[in-house]
Structure 1
């Protein structure tokens, strides 16, 4: 796909509930990870509205270590 074609497609944006369901994180943990720079920051789309880029959340999910992949702490 050409660069110009990619830039004309709007990104898929997720709400807080969609992000929490997809990642299985609590909102508190997600906010902590955002503050620590370990989770994609949301985009402010209004005074009280934020959305997350689906591609950023998916990239985070692929790279985040879990107990199932041997990267988490099982204790």
Structure 2
């Protein structure tokens, strides 16, 4: 379990770095300029990471509630 926690922590850090970097670039300029297609993909990756982290957190809370209920 410690390995999973470490991986999730690293993934959370990566998400933070991507999100921070993307916040310096305006979404409008990304969408209007074809040169920024890779940034759109990077933004999609950041969104996917966020979804994954949220899903893992929900599953963890669900598992904890089931364990505490037993």
Q: TM > 0.5 between the two?
A: no
Higher strand share: 1
Report the structure, 1 or 2, having the larger helix content: 2
With CA pairs under 8 Å and 6+ residues apart, which has the higher RCO, 1 or 2?
2
- The structure with the larger Rg is 2
